[in-house]
Amino acid sequence: MLTIDQRLSYGLGDFGINLYFMSVMSYLLFFYTEVYGISASVAAGVFFVARLVDAISDPLMGYLADRTRSRWGRFRPYLFWGPIPLALITVATFTVPDFDEFGKVLWAYLTYTAFGIIYTVVTIPYAGMTSVLTDNHQERATLSTVRMACAFSGGILVSTFLPSFVEWFGGNARGYQNTMSLFAVVATLLLWITFARTRERISAQTLQNLRITDSVRVIGRNPPLGVVMLLFTFGMLAFTFRQAAAPYHFTYNVQRPDLIGDYFGVTLGVMTLSLVVIPYLTRRFDKAGAIRIGAMVALVGGCGFYLTPPDDIFWTFVWGSVLAVGGAPVAVLCWAMIPDTIEYAQLRTGIRADGVVFATASFFQKLAKAIGGAGVAALLAWFGYVANQPQTVEAKEGILLMMSVCPLVVNVLLFLVSFFYRLDSRAHAEIVAALKAKNHLSVDP
Q: Give the model confidence (pLDDT) of 270-303 as tens digits.
A: 998 999 899 899 999 999 999 999 999 999 999 9
* Domains of the chain with CATH codes: 10-421+431-439 (1.20.1250.20)
The yes-or-no verdict on residue 364 having pLDDT over 50 is: yes
Higher-pLDDT residue of 2 and 203 is 2
pLDDT tens-place string over residues 17-61: 999 999 998 899 999 999 999 998 999 999 999 988 988 898 889
CB within 8 A of 317, min separation 6: which ones? 263, 266, 267
Confidence of residue 206 (pLDDT cuts 50, 70, 90): very low
pLDDT tens-place string over residues 132-183: 888 787 788 889 889 989 998 999 999 889 989 999 999 899 999 999 999 9
pLDDT tens-place string over residues 91-136: 999 999 999 999 999 999 999 999 999 999 999 999 888 888 887 8
